[in-house]
Structure 1
Amino acid sequence: MYEMKAVVGTSQIDKDGLLKTSSIFDLMQDCSFFQLDSEEELTKYFNENNVSMFLVSRQVDIYKLPKYSDKVIVRTYVYECNEAYGYRNTVIYDENYNELVICYAIGGFVDLSNGNLIRVPSDFIKKIKFDEKQEMNYLPRKIKVDNDGLKEVDRFKVKKYFIDDNNHVNNARYIDMAIDYVEDNYKRIRIEYRVPAALGDTIVVKKAVIDDKVLLKFDSEDNKTYAILEFSYSL
């Protein structure tokens, strides 16, 4: 388990003074990478084999948003792993360890030389430290999509400020893109990451509203899918 503490600052809040959704993702992402860096055996294997982990999917359940100047605690840990994927929980608490936001995420092992998903040795898996799985409603990694029900609502070019040090769109930036196409006060976000979008790519935004959910599909102009996002207004 890895834990970090933070104070909600002005750069992290929305128009209502509450922690922005993309800032939730930033906090979780930072904590997760600090945890990976703290695992010496993991870091050693990654460096020696030119391997990393890329996010495949994330489910975030929002119970309460902290406001400006609130103290928060972020905890993350791996609860399961196989030769292809690692599974982690990340939880944001208030300063009294009341749960504010709960997440489970799946990451795939990737060969950095070609970007392909790989399988790691079982002996390596035995060296990973596991913690107890968080209690939450675990929905499937894959999001069901009815392409016939989707309607194109926008398209735009990927800008420099979306790009991270992997030279593609950072996972949290898809949230920044998405919030323009949904109403506020959603309670759950699911994201399935497909093909990484790079600088200059055109993202075609397709949308469908199904019951209390909004589905967004970010495609390329030739119909490759970058990401699928589902916003739910109840848990």
Structure 2
Amino acid sequence: MYEMKTVVGTSQIDKDGLLKTSSIFDLMQDCSFFQLDSEEELTKYFNENNISMFLVSRQVDIYKLPKYSDKIIVRTYVYECNEAYGYRNTVIYDENYNELVICYAIGGFVDLSNGNLIRVPSSFIEKIKFDEKQKMNYLPRKINIDNDLLKETDRFKVKKYFIDDNNHVNNARYIDMSLDYADDYYKRIRIEYRTPAELGDTIIVRKAVIDDKVLLKFDSEDNKTYALLEFSYSL
């Protein structure tokens, strides 16, 4: 388990003074990588074998958004792992450890030399420390979307400020991209990450509204899917 304490700053809030959705993702991502870095055996194995973990999916349930200057606590841990995927909970609390945002995420082991998903030996899995699985409504990793219901809404080029040190669009930037297509304030966000988008790629936005959900599909010009997003206005 890894925990970090911070204060909601002005660069992290929206027009209403509340923590931005993309800032939620940034905080969770930072905490997760700090936790990975703190695991010496894990870091050593990754470095020696040129391996990393790429996010496959994330579900975020939002109960209450903290506001500017609120003290918050971000806690993350791995609760399960197999030879192909790791499963993680990340929770944002207020300063009294009341749950504000709960997340579960799935990451895949990736060979950095070619970007392919790989399987790691069971002997490596045995070295990982697991914590108790968080109580939440765990929805499936895959998001079902009827392509016939989707309508092209927009298209744009991937800019430099979307790119992280893996040279593709950072997972939190898909949230920034989606802000023009989903209204405030949703209670649950699900994202399924497919093909990493790179600098200069054209992203085609396709959208559908079904009941209380907004569905977004970010596609490439050659019909690959970069990411699927589902915004729900109820838990």
- TM norm structure 1: 1.00
Percent identity between the two aligned chains: 91
User: Residue 100 of structure 1: CA displacement?
Assistant: 0.1
User: Residue 217 of structure 1: CA displacement?
Assistant: 0.1
User: Residue 65 of structure 1: CA displacement?
Assistant: 0.2
Give the Cα separation in 2 of the matches to 1:8 and 1:189: 21
Look up the SS of the partner of 2:234 in the other structure: coil
Paired position in structure 2 for 1:127: 127
Paired position in structure 1 for 2:212: 212
User: Residue 4 of structure 1: CA displacement?
Assistant: 0.2
Give the Cα separation in 2 of the matches to 1:120 and 1:96: 39
Paired position in structure 1 for 2:72: 72
Look up the SS of the partner of 1:171 in the other structure: coil
- Report Cα offsets for 1:155-206 as digits up to 9, x if no partner: 0000000000000000000000001101101000000000000000000000
RMSD: 0.3
Give the Cα separation in 1 of the matches to 2:145 and 2:222: 18
Look up the SS of the partner of 1:200 in the other structure: coil
- Report Cα offsets for 1:27-50 as digits up to 9, x if no partner: 000000000000011000000000
User: Residue 119 of structure 1: CA displacement?
Assistant: 0.1
Total equivalences in the alignment: 235
Look up the SS of the partner of 1:180 in the other structure: coil
User: Residue 105 of structure 1: CA displacement?
Assistant: 0.0
User: Residue 209 of structure 1: CA displacement?
Assistant: 0.4
Give the Cα separation in 2 of the matches to 1:182 and 1:105: 22
Give the Cα separation in 2 of the matches to 1:44 and 1:121: 15
- TM norm structure 2: 1.00
- Report Cα offsets for 1:44-73 as digits up to 9, x if no partner: 000000000000000000000000000000
Give the Cα separation in 1 of the matches to 2:3 and 2:120: 26
Look up the SS of the partner of 1:17 in the other structure: coil
Look up the SS of the partner of 2:14 in the other structure: coil
Give the Cα separation in 1 of the matches to 2:185 and 2:48: 44
User: Residue 222 of structure 1: CA displacement?
Assistant: 1.1
Spell out the pairing of 1:59-98 with structure 2 (5 A cutoff).
Answer: 59-98=59-98
- Report Cα offsets for 1:126-177 as digits up to 9, x if no partner: 0000000000000000000100000000000000000000000000000000
